[in-house]
Amino acid sequence: MTAIEAVSTYVPQRRVPVSALADELGLSPIQVAMFERFHKLTEVRRDTDASLLDLLLAATDRLTALRGNEHRVRFVLHARAFPVVTPFPHNPLHELCGHRGLGHAEAFTVTQQSCATGLLAIDIAGRLLAGCGEPDALALILAGEKAFTRDSRLLPDTSIFSEGSAACLVSLDGPRDRLLAYASLPRGDFDGEQEDVSARFQRGYKAAMVDVIRAALDDAGVKLDEISVILPHNVNLVSWRRVCRLLDFPLTRVLLDNVLSAGHAFCADAFLNYQTAYERGLLRPGDRYLVAAAGAGLGATFSAMVLEH
C-alpha cells in the first residue's frame, strides 16, 4: 500500500502585499479589494533571487530522510501546474538529480492536471513502486514553480499564486501515512478561455469538489465524520467555506492557516499543509485525514485522497 515516508517544504520569507501586485497583474482597485476582503488573500510569497532549481533544492535539502537513501530512489517526479516552466534547454529536474546523487533514477514531469497534479504524482509513484519489483525502493516527488508570467501569477477572480516548494518521499508500504483511496474527477467541459467557461467553473466548483471528496471517502470505506482534518489547496477561504457548507463539515477542521500565510503555491499546497498539520500535532496515530485539490487548465480536475496517519 502506497505510503508517505517523509515531507519537507520551503516557503520564501519575502511577503508581497496583493496591493503591490496590482500594476504587474493588471488588477483594478475593485479587484484588489475583492482578493483582500472577500477571498482573504492579502499577501503572497516570492523569492525573486531564486531560480526554479534553487526552490526545488531548498525543499530537497530539508528532506533529512533522503540522506543516505539516495540509492533507494528509483523514480523522481516533478508535479507541475504548467507544462513549461523554464526556457529550453534548461532542465532543473535533471540538474537537481545530478547535484544530489539521484542521476540513476528515472526522472520525469507530471503536468496534465494543473494544481491537482501533486495528488496525481503520489498515485503514480505508488503504481510505479508496485511494479518495479523492489520492495525497498522509494520515489521522490517534487513540487513548486516560479511565478514567472502573468498567467502563472494569477487565477482570475479566484487566487494569486505564491512561490514555494516541497519534497516528498513515497514508499510501497510503511507505517506512517498510508494511502487508503484516491479519486479524481476530470471535467473537460470546463475547457476554454471564454468568459462563460470561467463562469461555469466558478458555479460548478463546490459541487464538483464535494463529489470527488465523497468518492474518495466511499472508496476508502471511511465516513466524513471520521476525518480528523482536511488539508486543502490554498486557493482562497471563501471557496472552502462554501464546500464545507455543502458537505456539512466544520470549517474549523479544515487547515486554512496557510491560505493567509503562505498562499497558493501551485502543486505544493498539499505537502505544505501536511507538514503544518504534522508539526502542530493535528495528526495522531490512526487518524484518517483527507487531502483535496483542484486544477484549472485544459479543462479542470478535482482530486481527493484519504490517508491514515
61 with 14, same domain?
A: yes
Question: What pLDDT, in 10s, does the model give residues 261-302?
Answer: 888 888 999 999 999 999 999 999 999 999 999 987 677 899
Q: Which of 209, 222, 212 is nearest to 183 (CA)?
A: 212
Mean pLDDT of 11-28: 86
106 with 165, same domain?
A: yes
The CATH number assigned to the domain holding 11 equals 3.40.47.10
Rounded (5°) CA angle 117-119-125: 100
Cell of 210: 464535494
Distance from the Cα of residue 18 to its chain's centroid: 21
Question: What pLDDT, in 10s, does the model give residues 99-144?
Answer: 999 999 999 999 988 889 999 999 999 999 999 999 999 999 999 9
55 with 186, same domain?
A: no
Radius of gyration of the chain (CA): 18
Cis status, amide bond into 89, omega within 30 of 0:
yes
9 with 138, same domain?
A: yes
Where a domain ends, among 121, 153, 171?
171
The number of folded domains in the chain is 2
Strand partners, 292: 304
79 with 110, same domain?
A: yes
24 with 106, same domain?
A: yes
111 with 250, same domain?
A: no
* Rounded distance between C-alpha atoms, residue 273 and residue 256, angstroms: 8
Where a domain ends, among 132, 155, 171?
171
- pLDDT value, residue 197: 64
Cβ burial 177-202 (10 Å sphere, 16+ → b, else e):
bbbbbbbbbbbeebeeeeeebbebbe
156 with 273, same domain?
A: no
At 215, the amino acid letter reads A
Where a domain ends, among 131, 154, 171?
171
Give the structural domain span for 284.
177-308
162 with 243, same domain?
A: no
Question: What pLDDT, in 10s, does the model give residues 70-91?
Answer: 999 999 999 998 888 888 888 9
Q: Coil, helix or strand for 72? A: helix
pLDDT category at 192 given cuts 50, 70, 90 is low
Q: 70: exposed, middle or buried (C-beta count within 10 Å: 0-12, 13-18, 19+)?
A: middle
107 with 139, same domain?
A: yes
Q: Supply the pTM of this predicted model.
A: 0.92
Q: 223: exposed, middle or buried (C-beta count within 10 Å: 0-12, 13-18, 19+)?
A: exposed
